[in-house]
């Protein structure tokens, strides 16, 4: 499995994908949070917190993570190397988890530079250091949980087609449905609690309060496993 992780990870950096994803993620965050005079601008907010970043990041991941994962299996199908991959002394789970972890590692690398935002608001706070570290830590955990789900969805949709663009669109649609669709439906039905709990955003907001609830962790873990399991079923049927 380590060989799959290395192969996939190196393939990201041997093409423009890794540089584009990391660059676009950091550029858009930088513009909206620190440069543009809009509602998300931290310097204009008047108080030192990163709520704007944690609001914006899941929406950026909605497009950037599918862009990372769209080639995972679609490219193997298109070039015919999937058959060669299956002849290797690797189980389907090892192939899937290897590709999954490589994509997730790239997402983590994109998130890593944003940790500097914490120091920035720490220095800007009045008094210095007067920030809610618990909420920030919880929000980063929540963002990572969003990333593990989006990545699993993207890996799954890449097994559905040889066309990378189709895999990308399918992943964006499913991620959007799970992140915002259930919440929008719940709002139209007088804030139906059951529908809210089916959506990613409700559990993301819960963790972002700084309290790690096992129900939220179980939700993210179950959703991730479900899409990885569906990936295995799809791969076995090919």
On whether the CB atoms of residues 15 and 75 are closer than 8 A, the answer is no
Residue with tokens 């969805």: 153
Question: Both tokens of residue 89?
Answer: 């002394």
Least confident interval from 43-47, 94-98, 143-147: 43-47
At residue 40, the 3 state secondary structure works out as coil
Nearest-angstrom CA–CA distance, 213 and 228: 23
Question: Both tokens of residue 234?
Answer: 């799809």
Q: What angle do CA 29, 26, 120 make, to 5 degrees?
A: 70
Question: Both tokens of residue 152?
Answer: 């699993």
Nearest-angstrom CA–CA distance, 94 and 233: 14
Q: What is the structure's pLDDT at 166?
A: 95
Residue-wise pLDDT tens digits, 54-87? 999 999 999 999 999 999 898 888 888 877 777 7
- pTM (predicted TM-score): 0.93
On whether the CB atoms of residues 154 and 96 are closer than 8 A, the answer is no
Residue-wise pLDDT tens digits, 133-168? 888 999 999 999 999 999 999 999 999 999 999 999
Q: What are the domain boundaries of the chain?
A: 2-237
Local confidence band at 238 (pLDDT 50, 70, 90 cut-offs): low
Nearest-angstrom CA–CA distance, 15 and 34: 29
On whether the CB atoms of residues 73 and 159 are closer than 8 A, the answer is yes
Cα torsion for 116, 117, 123, 125, to the nearest 10°?
A: -160
Residue-wise pLDDT tens digits, 170-226? 999 999 999 999 888 888 877 778 888 889 999 998 998 877 888 999 999 999 999
Question: Long-range contacts made by residues 39-44, C-beta under 8 angstroms, separation at least 24?
Answer: 42/117, 42/121, 43/124
Per-residue three-class SS string for 112-177:
HHHHHHHHHHHHHCCCCCCCCHHHHHHHHHHHHHHHHHHHHHHHHHCCCCCCHHHHHHHHHHHHHH
């Amino acid at each position: 499995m380590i060989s799959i992780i290395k192969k996939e990870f190196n393939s990201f950096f041997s093409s423009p994908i890794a540089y584009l994803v990391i660059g676009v993620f950091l550029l858009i965050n930088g513009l909206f949070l620190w440069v543009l005079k809009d509602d998300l601008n931290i310097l204009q907010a008047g108080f030192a917190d990163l709520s704007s970043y944690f609001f914006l990041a899941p929406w950026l991941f909605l497009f950037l993570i599918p862009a990372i994962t769209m080639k995972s299996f679609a490219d193997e199908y298109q070039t015919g190397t999937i058959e060669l991959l299956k002849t290797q002394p690797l189980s389907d789970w090892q192939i899937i988890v290897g590709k999954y972890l490589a994509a997730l590692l790239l997402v983590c690398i994109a998130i890593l530079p944003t940790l500097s935002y914490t120091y920035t608001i720490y220095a800007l706070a009045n008094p210095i250091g007067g920030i809610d570290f618990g909420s920030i830590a919880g929000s980063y955990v929540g963002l990572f949980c969003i990333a593990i789900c989006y990545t699993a969805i993207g890996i799954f949709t890449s097994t559905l087609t040889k066309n990378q663009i189709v895999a990308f669109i399918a992943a964006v649609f499913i991620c959007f449905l799970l992140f915002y669709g259930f919440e929008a439906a719940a709002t139209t039905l007088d804030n139906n609690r059951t529908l809210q709990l089916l959506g990613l955003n409700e559990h993301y907001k819960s963790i972002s309060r700084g309290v790690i609830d096992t129900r939220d962790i179980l939700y993210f873990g179950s959703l991730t496993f479900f899409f990885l399991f569906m990936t295995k079923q799809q791969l076995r049927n090919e």
